Structure 1
Amino acid sequence: MVHSYLLLLVFLSFISSSPSMSQTNSSDYETLLTVKKAWGSPSALSSWISQNSSYCSWAGVSCNNGRVTKLSFQNFNIINPIPASICSLKNLSYLDLSYNNLTDQFPTVLYGCSALSYLDLSNNLFSGALPADIDKLSSEMEHLNLSFNGFTGSVPSAIAVFPKLKSLVLDTNSFNGTYPASAIAELNELETLTLADNHFAPGLIPDEFSKLTNLKTLWLSGMSLTGGIPDKLSSLTELTMLALYSNKLHGEIPAWVWKLPKLEFLYLYANSFTGGIEPEVTCFKLQQLDLSSNLLTGTIPEAIGKMKNLTMLYLYYNNLTGSIPPSIGLLPNLAEIWLFNNMLSGPLPPELGKHSPLGSLEVGNNLLSGKLPDTLCYNKKLYDLVVSNNSFSGVLPANIGDCHTLDNIMAYNNNFTGEFPEKVWALPMLTIVMIQNNGFTGTLPCVISPNMIRIQMGNNLFSGAVC
C-alpha cells in the first residue's frame, strides 16, 4: 500500500511539471502560439507547432521548471510589432529581439513584462524619442541594449532609474539632444556604458562618471566630446575598455590611463591629443592599442614591448620620432603594426615576425633605414607589407616569395638593390606590387598572380623577360 502511495506521488509530481499536462504551464504554450500568430508566423518559428510537444525545445525558447524564462530571437526576420501578449509569460526575464526589422517607436507594451531583467532591441529600425516613462520597464532590469536603431532627441533621465542595471547600451542611434550624466552616474552596479556614435550636443566628458567604479567598458566615441580626459576618471580601475575615439579631445593623455591594471582595449584615435606616450607604461594586459591620427610627439616607449597580449599596435599619423623598440619584435601575439606617417628612424626590430603571427606591417612615410628582417614571413601569415617612402636598403628577403598569403607589397621610394624575388610575381593572393624608384635587378615576370590589379616598377634595373 505504501509502495502504491509513493508511485502516486511520483505520478502527480510528473504531471504537475509537464508542459502538456499542467494548466498553468499550458498558458505559456498558448501564449507562444499567440505571439507567433501576431508576428505573421515567420519561417524561423516553423518549429512552433500546435501539437503535444514541449514548447521548451522550440527555436529561441528556454524554460525553467516548465515556465518560459528566456526568448532569444536574433535575426528571425521579425517585422510585425511586439504583441502585448508576450508579457503574459509571467516568468519571462530575458528577451533578445536583436537583428530583426522592428520599426516604429519604443515598444511600451514591454512595460507589462514584470520579471524582465535582460532586454536587447539592438539592430532594428526603431525611431522617435525614448519615452519619458521608460522607467515603467521592470525594476529588475540589469541589461538594456537599444543600440543600432534610429532613436532621436534626448536620453530621458528615467533610463537611469533601474537600481540593478549593469549594462546600458545606447550607441549608434540618432540622439541629438543631451544625456543624463548625473543620473547615470548613480547606477552603482553599472559595468558597461556606451553612448557612442550619436549627435549629442558638444560637451566635456562628465566628471560624474568617476562614480561608476564598477565600470568595465566605457565607450564614448563619436559624440562631439571636447576638452581633455578628466583626472577624476582615474577612479575607474576596473576598466577593460576605454574608447574615446573620433571626438574633439585635446591635451595630453593622462599618465593614469597607462596604469589602469585591467585595461585590454584603448582606443583614442582621431582626436587632437598632444604630448608623448607615458614612458612608465604598466597596463601590460593591453590587447589593442590605437592612438592614430593625433598630434603625439616623442618616442615609442620600450615598455610597450612588455605587452605580451598585444595583437594590434596603431600609432600612425602622429609626429613620433626615434626608433622602434626591438622588444616589439619579440611580442608573441602581435599581428598588426601600423606606424606610417610619423618621423621614426633607424631599423626595424631584427626579429620582427619570428615570434608572432605578423599579418600586416605598414611603416611607410617615415625615416626608417637598414635592411628588412628576413623573419617578416617566418610564420607565413603576412598579407600586407607597406614600407614605402623610407630609406631602406639591401635586398628584399627572398623568403617573401614563400608567403602565399601576401596581398599587397608597397616598397617604392627606397634604396633597395639586388634581384627582386621572382617567386613573388606568382603569389596567388597578390593584387598590388608597387616597387618603383629603387635599384632592383632581375627579369620582368612571365607569370603573374591571376588577381593582380596594379603593378608599378619603373626606375629600377630590370631586364626584359625571357619566356
Structure 2
Amino acid sequence: MAAATIFRRNFHLFSILCLLSVANSDDLQTLLSIKTIFKDSKTKAFDSWELNTPVCNFSGITCNSNGFVNEIELSNQNLTGLLPLSSFCQLMSLEKLSLGFNNLYGHVSNDLNKCFSLKYLDLGNNFFSGSFPDISSIKGLISLYANKSGFSGTFPWNSLQNMSNLQVLSVGDNPFDRTPFPSVILNLTSLNWLYLSNCSIEGNIPEEIGNLVELIDLELAQNHITGEIPKGITKLNKLWQLELYWNNLTGELPSGLGNLSNLEFFDASTNKLIGNLSEIRFLNKLKSLQLFENQFSGEIPAELGEFKNLVNLSLYTNKLTGQLPQKLGSWADFHFIDVSENFLTGNIPPEMCNKGTMTKLLMLQNNFTGEIPETYANCTTLIRIRVNKNRLSGRIPGGIWGLPNLEIVDFAENNFEGPITNDIGNANSLAQLFLAKNRFSGELPSDISKASSLVSIDLSYNRFLGEIPATIGELNQLTSLQLQGNEFSGPIPDSLGSCRSINDINVAQNAISGSIPASIGSLPTLNFLNLSRNQLSGLIPPTLSSLTLNLLDLSENRLTGPIPESLLTEANNGSFAGNNGLCSEKIRGFRRCSPVSGMPRHLRLSLLCLVVAFIAMLASIVGFCYLKKKTERVGERSLKDDSWDVKSFHMLTFTEDEILDSIKQENLIGKGGSGNVYRVVVGNGKELAVKHIWHSDNYGKKMGSSTPMLSKRGSKSREFEAEVQTLSSIRHINVVKLYCSISSEDSSLLVYEYMPNGSLWDRLHTCRKLALDWDMRYEIALGAAKGLEYLHHGCDRPVIHRDVKSSNILLDEYLKPRIADFGLAKIVQADSAKESTQIIAGTHGYIAPEYGYTNKVTEKSDLYSFGVVLMELVTGKRAIEPEFGENKDIVDWVCSKLKTKESVVSIVDSAIPEVYRENAIKVLKVAILCTARLPTLRPTMRTVVQMLEEAQPCKLVSIIIGKDGAGEKPESRENDKL
C-alpha cells in the first residue's frame, strides 16, 4: 500500500515535470520564432536567444517561479517590422510586453485580445497605422502605453470599461478622430497616470474628472477642449503634474485650485483664460509654472517670491500688472523667466541667479524701471538676456558684456547709458548684440573684434563716438552691422571688406569721413549698403558696381566725380542726392561730368585702359555668344558624329539614337545655368526630359579658342558629375528618376523622367498657375519633405541639396512632387566636420542666413530653404516680394505677422478655403521652425516629415512657436511635446 502511494506521488511529480518541460519547450520555440521575424532588425537584443540557452537566460526575458516566460522587455532595441502578436500571445503566462521606442509599423491586429494575461503593455513611440485594436478581454491590465504610435481612427474606449485595475493610460500624440472626453475613463478610479494630450479630444472637461482622486499626472494638452477648467479638478489633491496647454479653455482658474498642494508642474498656456492668479499663491511646491499666451490680469502673487522649488516661470503675453516679487528665484536652482509682453513695473528681481544656474532672462515689452542688477555680472550660465522695450536705465554692469555663454544680449529701446566695456572681448559665444535706441556712449572698444561668434550688431541711435575699430573685419561671421544714428567719426575701416559673410551695412547719420573703401565692393553677399548722411569724400569706388544690392544709399555726403553707370538703376533713385560734387550724364539734377581731358594724367590713362579692356571684353562676349549659339546648333545637328558612352541606372526601354535624334530646337522646353532641357518622346510613347550639358573645357576648344575657357575640369563638367553622382544611386518616389547618362568628349546628356506639370514655382507664381487646393498643397509639401528626408537620412551618406526651392520641386501628371536639379548637391563625407565650400550656393530668398558666414555644408541649410517653400505653399507669395518692404524676404514678412491670431490668419493664401485655414497655419508653424535663424534650433528633416504627417487635414497636431524669436522653441516649455 505504501509503495503504491509513493509510486502515485512520483508519477504525479514526473507528469508535472514533463508538462513543464513541454511548456518550456513551447516558450523556447515561440521566442526563437519571434527572433526570426525580427531578423532584419539592426539590434543585439537577440544575441543570447539561442537554442542551447535556457529561456530564462535570454536577454530581456523574465520567468515566473514555474519557469514560464512572464515578462518581455524589448523597448528601445531598434526593432523593425510588423508586430507578431500571434507569437507573443502564445506565451500563456505573459504579463508584461514592453516594445516601446522601436520602429514597428503596420496594423496591430485583434490578436492582441488573446494576450489575456497581460498586466503591462507598452507599444508607445512606434510607427503603427490604422486603428488601435479591441482589448476588452485583457481585463487585468494595469498599465497601457500606446502614445505617439501612429494609431488613427476611433480609439476603442469602451474596451476599457471593465479594467478596474488600470492605473496608467497613455494614448496621447496619436491622430485619432475627434471625440468628446471619453466618459468610460471617469469610472477608472484606480488611474494615477492619464496622458491624453494631442489625441483630438474636444468639448468640455467633465466635472466628474474629480472622481479620479488617485491621479498623480493629468495631461490633456494640445486638444480641442473648450469651456472652463472644471472645479472638480480641485479634488485631485495628489496631482503632481497638470498639463492643459494649447486648448481653447476660457474663464478663470477655478476657486480651490490651491487645494492641489502637491502640484509641481502646471501648464495652462496658450488658452483664453482670464482673471487673476490669486489661486497660484497656495501652490508652494511648484517647480514650473507656465501660463503664457492667455489674458490673465492683475498682479503676480507676492507669495511666488517665497516658493522654494520654483525654477521655471513663463507668463508672457498676458495683461499682468504690478511688480515681480523681489525674492523670486532666489531659493532654488532657478532656470529661466519669461514675463514678456505684459504691463509689469518696478525693478528686476536681483537674486534669480543666486544658485548660478539661470540661463534665460526674458522681460521684453513691459514697463520695468531701474538698473540691471549687479548680481547678473557673475551669472556665467546666462545664455540670453533680453529686456528690450522697457524703461530701464543706468549703466550695464561691466561683467555682463563678457559672460562666456551669453548668445543674445538685447537691451534695445530703453534708457541705458555708459560705454560697452572691454569685457566684451571675453564674450566667446555672443552671436547677437542689440543695443538700439538707448543712450550708450563712448568709443566702441577694439576688443569687440575678439567676440568672434558675433553675427548681428545693432548699436543704432545711441551716442557712440570715435572711430569704428580698425579690427572690425576680424568678425568673419558677421552678417549685419547697424551703426546708424550715432557720432562715429574717422574712416570706414578697410578691414570691413574681410567680413565675407556680411549682407547688411548701415552706418548712416554719423560723422564718418574719408573715402569709401574699395574693399566693400568685394563683399560677395552684401545686399544692403547705407552710408548716407556722413562726411564721406572722394570718388565712388568702381568696385561697387560688382555688388548685387537691394538697397544703396550714399546720399548727403561730400562725394565727387562720376556716378558709375552700373549703379544708375531705378531702385537707386535718390541714392546720390546731396553730393554736390557728383556728376552724371543721365540723372537730372546733377551736373554733367567734365571732359576726360580735364582729368589728371594718371586717371586719364586708367580710364583709357578700362575703356579698351571693356571694349575687348564686350567683343569677346558678343563673339562668344554668337559662336556658342552657332556651335549649339551645329552640335545638335551632329551629336551622332561623336562617340558616346552610355551609363544606365534603370532598365531602359529606349535607345541611345532615339535620344540623340531628339536633341533639336523644336523639342527645347527650357534653358538654365546648368544646360538646355528637351522634351523627348521615344518610340514606345514614353516622355523623357533630357538635359544637355556642354563641358566647358571642350566648349572653349570647339569655339576655336586657343586656350580653354575654364580649367581642365570646368564648372559645367563638375556640375554634371555632381548630378550624376547624386542621382545615380537614389531610388525614391519623391526624387526625380535619372534613367541614364550619355557622355562624349564635348558634352553630356542626362535622361530623366518627364514631369508634365512643370515645377511648383510654375503652379504657384506664373501664368501656368493652377488653383491648387489645400489637399494638393499639403501632399506636395509632405512628398517633397519625404524626398529630402531620404536624401538626408536614407542614403549611405547624407546628400545635401543646397538649392532647395519651389522651382526645383517638379510635379508629375498627378501633381506628385519630385526633388530635382542636383547640380549643387554635396554628399557628406565621413569627415563632414571638415567639409566646406568656397562658393555660396543657392538662390536669393532661400539661402539660410548662416550660409553667408560659414563655409560648412550642413543639412540645416536645406531645412531653411524647405521652410521658405512651405511658406510659399501657405501664403501663395514668392520668396521675395516688393510688399515685404526693403531688405525683407518672406521669412521676415511671416515673422512680422505672428503678433496676433488675426494677423497670422491674414497671411494664409485667400485661395485656401476657410475650413482649411487651421491646417495651413499648422504647416506654417512647421515652416517657422525650419527657418529659425540659428541652425541648431531647426528640426531634422525626419522630424519635419513626422510633424507634417501629424498636421494632415482633419488630423491636426499643434506645433509650438516660441515667443522669443520666430521659429524657436518656446522658452517656457523645455519638455515640449511636438
TM-score with structure 1 setting the length = 0.89
Q: Which deviations, in whole Å up to 9, do the C-alpha atoms of 1:222-276 show, x marking residues without a partner?
A: 2111110111222211111111111111111113223311111100000011111
On the 8 A contact 2:186/2:209 being kept in 1, the answer is yes
Query: Are the equivalent residues in 2 in contact too, given 1:387–1:411 (CA < 8 A)?
Result: yes
User: 1:105: Cα distance to partner?
Assistant: 2.6
> Is it true that 1:42 corresponds to 2:32 in the alignment?
no
Q: Does 1:289 align with 2:321?
A: no
Alignment deviations for residues 176-223 of structure 1 (CA, whole Å, 9 cap, x no partner): 2325632111111001112211223x3111122221111111111121
Tell me, yes or no, if the aligned pair for 1:264 and 1:285 is still in contact at 8 Å. Answer: yes
Distance 1:285 1:266 in 2: 11
Return the alpha-carbon distance in structure 2 between the equivalents of residues 312 and 57 of structure 1: 45
Match of 1:106 in 2: 108
- Once the two structures are superposed, the pairs formed by residues 46-445 of structure 1 within 5 Å of their partners are 46-65=46-65, 66-83=67-84, 84-131=86-133, 133-136=134-137, 138-156=138-156, 157-178=158-179, 181-200=182-201, 202-278=202-278, 281-355=281-355, 357-440=357-440, 441-445=442-446
Shift in Å at residue 109 of structure 1? 2.3
Q: Residues 91 and 445 (structure 1 numbering): CA distance in 2 closer, same or farther, change over 3 Å? A: farther
Identity %: 31
Question: How far 1:280 sits from its partner (Å)?
Answer: 6.8
Residues 422 and 22 of structure 1: is their aligned pair in 2 closer, same or farther, counting only changes over 3 Å? Answer: farther
Q: 1:398 offset after TM fit, Å?
A: 1.2
Tell me if structure 1 keeps the 8 A contact 2:308–2:331.
yes
Pair 408,58 (structure 1): closer, same or farther in 2 beyond 3 Å: farther
Q: What is the CA–CA distance in structure 2 between the aligned matches of 1:388 and 1:261, rounded to whole Å? A: 36
Asked whether the equivalents of residues 118 and 143 of structure 1 are also in contact (C-alpha less than 8 Å), the reply is yes
Partner of 2:528: none
Say which SS state the counterpart of residue 255 (structure 1) adopts.
coil
Provide the residue aligned with 1:10 in structure 2: none
Deviation at 1:59, TM superposition (A): 3.6
Per mean C-alpha deviation after superposition, the further-off stretch among 96-105 and 337-346 is 96-105
Give the whole-Å Cα distance in 1 for the aligned partners of 2:23 and 2:421.
75
- Asked whether the equivalents of residues 272 and 295 of structure 2 are also in contact (C-alpha less than 8 Å), the reply is yes
- Cα separation, 2, equivalents of 1:275 and 1:33: 62
Distance 2:180 2:279 in 1: 36
For residue 36 of structure 2, what is the amino acid of its counterpart?
K
Q: Is the 8 A contact 1:155 1:178 kept in 2?
A: no
Q: Distance in 2 between matches of 1:280 and 1:179?
A: 29
Shift of 1:343: 0.6
Q: 1:64 to 1:281 in 2, by over 3 A?
A: same
- The match for 1:7 is none
Deviation at 1:334, TM superposition (A): 1.7
Partner of 2:463: 461
Kept after mapping to 2: 8 A contact 1:279/1:302:
no
The structure number with the bigger radius of gyration is 2
Q: CA deviation at 1:424?
A: 2.4
Which structure has greater helix proportion?
A: 2
Shift of residue 352, structure 1, vs aligned partner: 3.2
Q: Is the 8 A contact 1:335 1:358 kept in 2?
A: yes
Q: Is the 8 A contact 2:235 2:259 kept in 1?
A: no
C-alpha separation in 2, matches of 1:393 and 1:227: 43
- RMSD, aligned α-carbons: 2.3
Deviation at 1:294, TM superposition (A): 0.3
Q: Which amino acid aligns with 1:116?
A: L
Q: In structure 2, what residue type is equivalent to 1:70? A: E
Cα distance change, pair 103–42 in 1 and its aligned pair in 2 (3 A): closer
Separation in structure 2 between the aligned mates of residue 180 and residue 300 of structure 1, nearest angstrom: 32
Q: Is the 8 A contact 1:117 1:141 kept in 2?
A: yes
Cα deviation for residue 67 of structure 1 reads 3.4
Q: CA deviation at 1:23?
A: 5.0
Out of 268-277 and 180-189, give the one that drifted further: 180-189
Match of 1:3 in 2: none
Q: Is the 8 A contact 1:120 1:146 kept in 2?
A: yes
Contact 2:181 2:205 in 1 (8 A): no
Give, in whole Å, the separation in 2 of the partners of 1:435 and 1:41. 57
- Residue 729 of structure 2 corresponds to none
In structure 2, the residue corresponding to 1:375 is in which secondary structure? helix
Task: Please state how far the C-alpha of 1:162 moved relative to its aligned partner.
Answer: 1.1
Say if 2:452 is the partner of 1:450.
yes
Letter in 2 for 1:390: N
User: Counterpart of 2:28 in structure 1: which amino acid?
Assistant: Y
Secondary structure in 2 aligned to 1:376?
A: helix
Q: Distance in 1 between matches of 2:252 and 2:118?
A: 43
Output the CA distance in 2 between the equivalents of 1:22 and 1:411.
Answer: 76
SS in 1 for 2:80: coil
Counting matched residue pairs gives 447
Distance 2:354 2:377 in 1: 8
Separation (CA, whole Å) in 1 of partners of 2:171 and 2:27: 31
CA positional deviation for 1:389: 0.8
Q: Secondary structure at the match of 1:246?
A: coil
Instruction: Tell me the distance in 2 between the aligned counterparts of 1:379 and 1:53.
Output: 57
Q: Distance in 1 between matches of 2:297 and 2:279?
A: 12
Identify unmatched segments of 5+ residues in structure 1: 1-12
Query: Could you say what secondary structure the match of 1:80 adopts?
Result: strand
Shift of 1:41: 4.9
